[in-house]
Amino acid sequence: MVAKKSKGKIKHLISAIQSPQGLNAPNLKRLYALLHHWSTLKTPISGSPLDMKFEKCGLNFKFKDINCLSDILFKQLEARFHGFFSALHELNVSAADNGKCFLIEELTLLLRCCLVMLVLMEYDQPLLVQKGLGILYLLSRLVTTELSGRNGKSSITFKKLISRQSVSDDCTTSITEEFVASLCLWKPSDPRYAFLCAVLEVFADELLVRQTLRQYFVMIDCAPSRSERLFMCPSGHGNIGSVLEVICAHFVVSLSDEQAFENFHNRLFWCHRDDFRIPEMSLPAALSLLLNPIMLSAPKLFQAYLILMVSEAIGIRMPQPNTMLDLKLMDCYTVAFERSIFLYTRHMSSLHVDDDFLGDNSSFIRSDLHGSSSKLNFECFLHPATRDKLHHLISKSYDAWNSYLSSMSSRTNSELVAASIAFMKESLCIVDESFKDEALSILSCIILRNPSDDNGDTLLYKKEETSSQDIYLLASILKLMSSSMLQAIWYVKHLRFSVCPKSLEDVSSCKGCDVIVDILGCFEHFSISLPIQKFLCETLRSHPARHRKSKWMFFHFSGLLSLSYASGLDFLIKDCLFALMVLLNMFIIEEGDLAAADSLFVSSLESFSSKSSDKFEGVTAISKSSQIVSSKIRKIQEMYLRKHSTICSNGRKQHNQAGTSEYGSIMNELDSDVSMEDAKETCNGEIFLKCVLGKDAKSNVIDDLSDFIECEQGKNYSGWLRDRQKFRIWKYKKTTIRRWRRKKKSWNHLKG
């Protein structure tokens, strides 16, 4: 019965793709799924080649079905590529003008089907060579294709002089200011580049996941009918040279002009981009290439490019609720995260950063990683023409780097801080919904401290010693580290709610979380030497039992953020900020709140009160410490009063609905606090500040701040703060369960 159904499905697909509109995306997806399954069936039964049967897992088919399908698919593929190659010489190409050849999804699916067909032709060598030569011819043309006229930039500059006079009793002052504005206009993006990159990604993906296909490509490339070989494949190493040629072609196409390098700079950090395209290369395939030891000997710019491809294959998309969890994906995330840590520690040891920043880890890195470096030469796997293109592109990258530095040199610290805060607000979507305000406050405190810190002689970028390739590689590693860790954290959180939605036990007992925490342990070897690191370490010392390992990564990346501000490299700043936001998610997963990091808010007040405004270079115009304190206190009061009233109103509703008595006393106390009469005796905030700041609080700090806080006489604020924290945790758990039940109900309704 199953065999008959499979035969019917095959016949139906063949007749469907033969119709005028048959080669559409839905039909090609079904066909590719079926062919992929067939590629695992390697148990031939007796018969001639055309009548040969294959059977496995209840499915069977004849080899003549392969012949019929291959004739249809390869003819369509040749026709579509012919349309594309004919359009390459036209400079102003649009997707609408070229019809089907620019329907990327359909063509890439068609190409995948043809590549899998080659694997199924292994029992008919003449047919395999015939079809393989056609595919190899297409690949040769794609690899050697050079497109021109994609983008051009024209700029318009406006200049205006403004003069004004200021007259006083004794003199007249004349001031003249020059305003310059420039507008850069880019030509519309050429769809040929997106098409070319997508097709090359399909070739790379299929070659990486199918070792047999790599063997066939190398074998056909050596056929007598081939006038020139495409691959330089030394013996062994899994014929990896065929993949490297394709990836290098993708690299050259993607960084071919000025705008391409500007897009590359924007790809170095996570942000919303209109031109973002989900790569055709799957995560397992991209990760297998990254794990190959040959890649460690590749040029650093190429390594950075490959790491960005892996990062984009991982993405930062939150998994949908009530979906099946893929254990293989979780393994990929943890392997990618572990690899990013290895690459980071290895790369930091090669940079000219002081050992004070690396700490004890510097000797560990140098002894461990240099011994594990690859002896394989990346360039020996490439065709000489490919090597020349690679070296030419790397030399061009220095011009793009100098142009970038020139544009960044005019930016002040205040502009960097403003851009950082704007980026942080745009990226808050990755933080747990219940803790976005706390995360914003914590990171704002760190951002405002960094530009004013004196890091001494510790520098991340030294113009004469540090190469632009080093910075590109560092940024790409940080992006990979953030995306892989974020996906692993979301996976753990998703696992918690799918396995045990009713009991919100400590997720740190989850195996996935333990793996992440163990990987983070290496950051404990790094030094705590920069001012921001010392400040954070001192602040979190009051919570020694919390975040035992993850806090060390938080300290380290706060220091790296400080060095990035000193270098003025905005993409490094954004990478560090994104990593810190991911770590705050880790804090929430570990403890259920951000109570430990919240103490930064109070500690920053002490710091702000002792700093003068000139160190902020325009970040703040407040000149007196008392004004700084009063401004900060008013903001905190407004924030906490809003939260206070919200907690009480929500608390009354939950108390009446659920009949919960566990926190009834807390509710009553909060209600009474809000409804206090003005006639009650009050005092300054000395008692409250001592409870918050602890025994180590300085008397001058309490004296400066106490007059801005009004407290109730005789109230036990220590117990009040403790109960309030318990209530916040309880409320978060109740809200989380309610949200999960609501999503489950909606999902069941849609399914039903």
- The pLDDT of 42-47, averaged and rounded, is 47
Tell me: pLDDT of 718 over 60.
yes
Helical segments of 274-326, H only: 283-291, 300-314
Q: Is the confidence at residue 575, as pLDDT, over 80?
A: yes
List phi, psi (to 5°) of 175. Answer: -125, 130
The torsion of the CA quartet 346, 352, 358, 360, rounded to 10 degrees, works out to: 80
Task: Say if CB 486 and CB 582 are below 8 A apart.
Answer: yes
* pTM beyond 0.85: no
pLDDT tens-digit readout, 192-247 = 778 889 999 999 999 999 999 999 998 898 888 787 888 876 666 778 889 999 99
pLDDT given for residue 542 in this prediction: 66
Among all chains, which residue has been given the structure tokens 């570990």?
A: 590
What's the confidence (pLDDT) of residue 171? 60
CA distance 553 to 725: 25
Which has the closest alpha carbon to 242: 287, 275, 210? 210
User: How far apart are the C-alpha atoms of 343 and 337, rounded to whole Å?
Assistant: 10
pLDDT of residue 149: 53
Chain center to CA of 356: 29
Instruction: Report the range of poorest mean pLDDT among 103-117, 431-445, 529-543, 652-666.
Output: 652-666
The mean pLDDT of the chain is 74
The per-residue pLDDT for range 81-136, each reduced to its tens digit, is 887 777 665 644 444 344 444 578 888 999 999 999 998 888 788 889 999 999 99
- Distance from chain centroid for Cα 559: 20
As a whole number of angstroms, the distance between CA 269 and CA 513 comes to: 25
Neighbours of 215 (CB within 10 A): 14
Q: Where do the H-state alpha helices sit in 410-467?
A: 413-426, 436-449
Q: DSSP letter string over 68-105?
A: HHHHHHHHHHHHHHHHHHHHTT-SS--TTTSGGGG-HH
DSSP string, 193-214: HHHHHHHHHHHHHHHHH-HHHH
Helix axes 413-426, 570-591, angle to 10 degrees: 40
| Structural tokens at position 599 | 């103490």
**Integer CA distances (angstroms), 267 to 104, 251, 575, in order:** 22, 14, 11
List C-alpha distances in Å: 133 to 72, 176, 178, 205, 226: 17, 71, 64, 19, 8
The predicted-structure confidence for 498-507, as pLDDT tens digits, reads as follows: 654 443 344 4
Residue written as token pair 């070739």: 203
- What is the mean pLDDT of the segment spanning 598-620? 48
What interhelical angle do 283-291 and 300-314 show, nearest 10? 150
Would you say 221 and 383 are in contact if contact means Cβ atoms under 8 Å apart? no
Give the bridge partners for 119, in sequence order.
none
Residues 705/731, Cβ–Cβ less than 8 Å? no
pLDDT grade for 170, boundaries at 50, 70 and 90: low
Looking only at the bridges linking them, the beta strands covering 172-186 and 682-684 are unpaired
Give the per-residue pLDDT at 749. Answer: 64
HEC assignment per residue over 454-484: CCCCCCCCCCCCCCHHHHHHHHHHHHHHHHH
The residue length of the chain stands at: 752
Residue 471: predicted pLDDT: 93
**HEC readout, 629-665:** HHHHHHHHHHHHHHHHHHHHHHHHHHHHHHCCCCCHH
How confident is residue 460, by pLDDT bands cut at 50, 70 and 90? confident
- Average pLDDT for 51-75: 66
Q: Is the pLDDT of residue 470 over 70?
A: yes
Residue with tokens 């590629």: 39
- The answer to whether residue 725 scores a pLDDT higher than 90 is no
pLDDT range class, residue 286, cuts 50, 70, 90? very high
Cβ–Cβ under 8 Å, residues 680 and 713: yes
In whole angstroms, give the CA distance from residue 10 to residue 4.
10
Residue 3 has pLDDT above 80, yes or no: no
Q: What is the CA radius of gyration of the chain?
A: 31
Question: 28: how many CB neighbours lie within 10 A of its CB?
Answer: 23
Measured CA to CA, the distance from residue 158 to residue 575 in angstroms comes to 34
Query: What token pair was written down for 304?
Result: 């950075």
Alpha carbons 7 and 391: distance in angstroms, whole number? 52
572 versus 618: the higher-pLDDT residue is 572
What token pair was written down for 289? 């290439």
State residue 671's pLDDT score.
43
CA distance 476 to 470: 10
pLDDT bucket at 342, cuts 50 / 70 / 90: very high
Q: So what's the pLDDT on residue 17?
A: 75
3-state helix, strand, coil in the chain (%, to 5): 65, 5, 25
- The confidence band for 57, taking pLDDT boundaries of 50, 70 and 90, is very low
Instruction: Classify each residue of 34-63 as buried b or exposed e, where b means 16 or more C-beta atoms within 10 Å of its C-beta.
Output: bbeebbeeeeeeeeeeeebebeeeebbbbb
